[in-house]
Amino acid sequence: MGKNTEISFVGQPIFSQIISLIDKKIFSELVRKHQSDRYYKEFRTWDHFISLMFGIFSRCDSISEIIDGLRGFSGKLEYLQLDKVPAKSTFSDGMRNRTDKFFEELYISLVEIYSVFLSDSSKLGKQFTQMLLIDSTTIRLFSEVLKGVGRNRKDDGKKKGGAKVHMVIDAYQQIGLFIAITAARVHDKKFLDIFEPKPYSLLVFDRAYNHYLRFAKWTENNIYFITRKKRNAKYRIIKVLQDNNLMEKEQGVHQEYLIEMIYKENNQEKTLLLRLVKYVDEKGRKYEFISNCINELSALEITACYKKRWDIELLFKKLKQNFQLHYFYGENETAIRTQIWCTLIAQLLITLLQRQNAPRKAFSTVACTIRIHLISMLNIKELIKGENRYYKKDKPFAGQLDLFGNSIPIRKDRKRRPPEKLKRGQPMQVDNNEIFNIELQNVMSG
């Protein structure tokens, strides 16, 4: 039996199938909690969310593009429970005035629901409950909202505005578990003041987050970390664990020590027992890692965990390359935060579809496929899998009639058969219908 190469049509557009992943009950509960429909007679929170998600999935650059796109989508608005396309001024007012806390909690609730389907705890050791990657990215703005990004200009001009997205992601889920949006001038290490990791978690982050007093408190609460050592860090070597003489262009662990990191608390000098791992990569670059995993991980495992930190950089790259974060649909802080939270929701939903249906496909390929076929009534799972190559017609079209009203049959094979060669002495067979059609054409041409 041959392989099925058909793509099924369904009664819902792809956009509607994606939005169906949003639990309407949870959505309604959050609307009541934040009273986000208060003072809005027509432009409800659901209308706001659907319109904004349409702009994010289709990568619209402005509110005008969103409104014009929805007008072309008006024949299918009933699938999304929209009564009509909102006016541009109404959309702008909603972006400016509706609280962004609603969209923040909506994202958090979706993470709680779908994190089970995206988790892969089998890759973690028994000593850790989860491995978390921490980093931040800056989104530049054209307005002066959320100031502080960029260098000081030579012409004494003002810096452009910027938003910094601080994120904690699960190393094996690729979704943000804890997110904070601040001005770009806020230092990274201040983000850890509002983040409380759970015991037996393994945190991996860059040296911008180094704070030795916090490291000491984490160690007391069985919270583990891996980071890079700062150049001006003060420490004493307690024990040499490894000292390998690497050959030229050889990669691996060069040295490993048990150290006491020196820091101050209330003007008193204190020490913290850590491991220091010096590693040389394939290009000859040298790295120094510190960790409070004294016996839990080997030196190579520590370097591999820190290399895993690059995944969060790839996540930021996905957000900036596949979604519209270069142009914002509002110039105030509420509008910017709302668009960022809805972009994270879109990233979560596409990641869920990718993991369940096409785990080997690139995220950008799945996002592009959804963007192209956003209003097509196709089965999104079959479309993402990409196993089906064409639409097979069950019956050939036989509605075409000849001059006398007879149906013209359509041959299934499109290839033309070569004319049969006559044998010597074989009389030629003449089709009377063909002669009649030729004579009829001569009469009609005069």
Question: Please, are residues 378 and 14 in contact by the beta-carbon 8 Å criterion?
Answer: yes
In a domain, 30, yes or no: yes
Please give the share of the chain, as a percent, with pLDDT higher than 70: 78
Residue 398, domain member (yes or no): no
What is the helix (H) or strand (E) element at residue 48, kind and residue range?
helix 45-57
The pLDDT assigned to 346 comes to 94
Q: Which H or E element spans position 272?
A: strand 268-280
Domain that holds residue 66: 14-99+330-385
Q: Over the stretch 171-204, which tens digit does the pLDDT of each residue have? A: 887 788 888 888 888 888 888 888 889 999 999 9
Residue 256 included in any domain:
no
Domain count, the chain: 1
pLDDT of residue 403: 45
pLDDT at 326: 78
Question: What integer pLDDT is reported at residue 240 of this predicted model?
Answer: 92
Per-residue confidence (pLDDT) for residue 388, from 0 to 100: 54
Residues 368-388: tens digit of each pLDDT: 999 999 988 888 888 888 765
Mean pLDDT throughout 408-435?
Answer: 54
The residue among 411, 399, 303, 315 whose CA lies nearest residue 363 is 315
The structure's pTM equals 0.75
Average pLDDT over residues 13-26: 91
What is the rounded average pLDDT of the residues 411-420? 54
Residue 394's pLDDT is 45
Residue 187 within a domain: no
From start to end of 222-378, where are the E strands? 224-228, 235-243, 252-265, 268-280, 286-291
| 286 backbone dihedrals φ, ψ, rounded to 5° | -105, 135
- Tell me if residue 15 falls in helix, strand or coil: helix
What integer is the mean pLDDT of 109-134?
A: 77
Across the range 410-430, mean pLDDT stands at 54
Taking each helix axis from N to C end, the angle separating 310-322 and 333-357, rounded to the nearest 10 degrees, works out to 110
Q: Which of the four pLDDT bands, split at 50, 70 and 90, describes residue 11?
A: confident
DSSP 307-339: HHTHHHHHHHHHHHHHS--SS-S-SSHHHHHHH
pLDDT bracket for residue 39 (50, 70, 90): confident
Instruction: Categorize the per-residue pLDDT at 281 as very low, low, confident or very high, splitting at 50, 70 and 90.
Output: confident
Neighbour-count burial for 47-59, b at 16+ CB within 10 Å, e otherwise: bbbbbbbbbbbbe
DSSP one-letter code for 189: G
Q: Judge whether 142 lies within some domain.
A: no
**Lowest pLDDT segment from 26-30, 61-65, 354-358, 415-419:** 415-419
Say if 346 falls within a structural domain.
yes
What is residue 143's predicted lDDT score, i.e. its pLDDT? 58
In a domain, 55, yes or no: yes
Q: Detail the DSSP E strand segments found in 20-79.
A: none
Whether pLDDT at 393 is above 50: no
Please name the helix (run of DSSP H) or strand (run of DSSP E) that holds residue 163, with its range, or none.
strand 162-170
SS (H, E, C) 420-434: CCCCCCCCCCCCHHH
Domain assignment present for 70? yes
